[in-house]
Amino acid sequence: MFHSVEQSPGDPILSLVEDFKRDKRAEKVNLSIGLYYDEAGQVPQLACIRKAYERLANTWDKPELYLPMEGLASYRQAVQHMLFGEESEAVKAGRIATVQTLGGSGALKIGADFLHRYFPQADLWVSRPTWENHIAIFAGAGFTTHEYPYFDPKTGGVDFEAMCACIRQIPAGDVVLLHPCCHNPTGADLSEAQWDALIPLLKERRLVPFLDLAYQGLGSTLEADVYAARAMVKAGMTFLLSNSFSKVFSLYGDRIGALSVVCQDKETAERVLSQLKVTVRRNYSSPPVRGAQLVNIVLNDKELARLWREEVAAMGARIRTMRQSLHTQLSARLPGQDFQYLLAQRGMFSMMKLTPAQADRLREEYGVYILRSGRVCMAGLNEQNLPPVVNALAAVFST
Ligand code: PLP
Ligand code: LMR
């Protein structure tokens, strides 16, 4: 019966992680998948999460019932406060429908299914390039997908003119996926001034923005990294916002995130919420409990929330230090080459000017794993692995 099933070529990111695990070399360095490692090379458990676990400890002997389809109520409220601000007019008006999801991927899937059901004619537009799974998830939900120009390999920044020129041509009603901060895979972000120019354009063209936020607080501050969403609320736009807590709470395996749909009024938000619940029911019925409990405890406790903010800020600062060190050391080794873009790009990733063949060489000869697109996870660098990584990069860049 299953004889005709073809072998999948494998996911470009997750397959590399499998290869890395099989690699027996002691000096191997994993800069492929987007995981935050601390200075000791470990994926940390945050202190705020450890404390949240302590508070949960006295509940271990009770059975865990199903959460409602939309997830834990106090968690959903806390998420809205974190994303839009407690004083947000949209939050206070109750015009945002938020559901707890299985990480950011689950939020994208629920959003894609919901949109495709109500707007089957709408296509999806993503940046060139984007996180591969954006295309896979939306195509899987039935969308036709297209790309808008975004990354300029010459500058390592955004080709904003080309982006806007394309967006001006997109048919009304289509969905435009945007990264509010820490663009994956390039690290090239829009400035606040560029968001201010883009938002009226999206509004005038009657496009549906879908913001995908997986790294809030790792680019700049928690507030600055969500500038686009708050500016869209101020501009009176309706849009979707998926967010992931995998990286910023170091809760990858707990699969915790949320999808928020900002509507024009409370009545619409209630109807949208009812449909998001149906979408969840059809996909997996209800979300898991643990991650929501942990994030809920942290975000709803002043002291733990303060601790979390400090921990996220420290992660962001460590990544910036690594960018600086990589820039300094590579520039010293290869004085003729310009690595300024490493400093301008933000968040976990940088798109380095490396061909797939150079990426293969880094992996095969030096045990340095990066994506074949040239994407390097800056959060995997530390003072110890930096010198061998710089050696490997210098060798590959100079031949
Ligand atoms: N969106 C972006 C831009 C990402 O980089 C990621 C990576 O994990 C996700 C969504 C998925 O988030 P999660 O791992 O929580 O499913
Ligand atoms: C990545 O891009 O490496 C991360 O977002 C993890 C993933 O699921 O791909």
* 235's tokens: 């501009």
d(CA 231, CA 173): 20
Distance 336 CA to ligand 1 centre (A): 36
Q: Are 264 and 291 part of one and the same domain? A: yes
The number of the ligand 2 atom at minimal distance from the alpha carbon of 14 is 9
Q: Are 89 and 185 part of one and the same domain? A: yes
**Known active-site residue 247:** yes
H helix runs in the chain, sequence order: 14-22, 47-56, 73-84, 89-92, 103-118, 132-140, 160-167, 192-204, 227-234, 266-283, 290-299, 302-333, 341-344, 356-366, 386-397
Asked if residue 341 belongs to a domain, the reply is: yes
Asked if residue 56 belongs to a domain, the reply is: no
Res 75: pLDDT:
98
Asked if residue 54 belongs to a domain, the reply is: no
DSSP string, 115-182: HHHH-TT--EEEEES--HHHHHHHHHTT--EEEEE-EETTTTEE-HHHHHHHHTTSPTT-EEEE-SSS
The number of the ligand 1 atom at minimal distance from the alpha carbon of 245 is 15
Peptide bond into 9 cis (omega under 30): no
Tell me which of 300, 318, 349 is where a domain ends.
300
Asked if residue 59 belongs to a domain, the reply is: no
Asked if residue 252 belongs to a domain, the reply is: yes
122, 208 contact by CB (below 8 A)? yes
How confident is the chain (399 residues) per 10-residue block, as mean pLDDT?
93 92 95 96 97 89 93 98 97 98 98 98 98 97 98 96 98 98 98 98 98 98 98 98 98 98 98 98 97 98 98 98 97 94 97 96 97 97 97 92
Res 318: pLDDT:
98
What's the half-sphere exposure (Cβ side, CA atoms, 13 Å) at 354?
28
Res 10: pLDDT:
87
Asked if residue 61 belongs to a domain, the reply is: no
Cα–Cα–Cα angle for 79, 281, 264, rounded to 5 degrees: 50
Q: Are 185 and 243 part of one and the same domain? A: yes
Count Cβ neighbours within 10 Å for each residue of 154-181 and write b for 16 or more, e otherwise. eebbbbbeebbebbeebeeebbbbbbbb
- Owner of token pair 């794993």: 369
Res 59: pLDDT:
79
Q: Is 30 exposed, middle or buried (0-12, 13-18, 19+ CB in 10 A)?
A: buried
Q: How many CB atoms within 10 Å of residue 21? A: 9
Q: Are 161 and 210 part of one and the same domain? A: yes
127, 183 contact by CB (below 8 A)? yes
Cα–Cα–Cα angle for 109, 136, 170, rounded to 5 degrees: 85
Q: Are 204 and 318 part of one and the same domain? A: no
* Residue 184 Cβ contacting ligand 2 at under 6 Å: yes
Q: How many CB atoms within 10 Å of residue 6? A: 5
**Known active-site residue 24:** no
d(CA 229, CA 291): 24
Q: Are 384 and 324 part of one and the same domain? A: yes
d(CA 252, CA 250): 6
SS3 state of residue 43: coil
Nearest Cα residue to atom 7 of ligand 1: 214
Task: Name the active-site residue from 125, 131, 195, 308.
Answer: 131
* Residue 369 Cβ contacting ligand 2 at under 6 Å: no
SS3 state of residue 294: helix
State the CATH number of the domain containing residue 24.
3.90.1150.10
Nearest Cα residue to atom 12 of ligand 1: 104
Q: Are 209 and 86 part of one and the same domain? A: yes
Distance 61 CA to ligand 2 centre (A): 34
Q: In total, how many domains does the chain have? A: 2
* Residue 382 Cβ contacting ligand 1 at under 6 Å: no
Nearest Cα residue to atom 2 of ligand 2: 34
**Known active-site residue 195:** no
Asked if residue 53 belongs to a domain, the reply is: no
Tell me which of 269, 300, 331 is where a domain ends.
300
* Residue 370 Cβ contacting ligand 2 at under 6 Å: no
196, 145 contact by CB (below 8 A)? no
Q: Are 255 and 387 part of one and the same domain? A: no
Q: Are 85 and 102 part of one and the same domain? A: yes
Cα–Cα–Cα angle for 322, 323, 327, rounded to 5 degrees: 115
Asked if residue 93 belongs to a domain, the reply is: yes
Q: Are 75 and 35 part of one and the same domain? A: no
Tell me which of 280, 300, 320 is where a domain ends.
300
State the CATH number of the domain containing residue 259.
3.40.640.10
* Residue 311 Cβ contacting ligand 1 at under 6 Å: no
Q: Are 229 and 117 part of one and the same domain? A: yes
Domain range spanning residue 221?
66-300
Q: Are 148 and 129 part of one and the same domain? A: yes
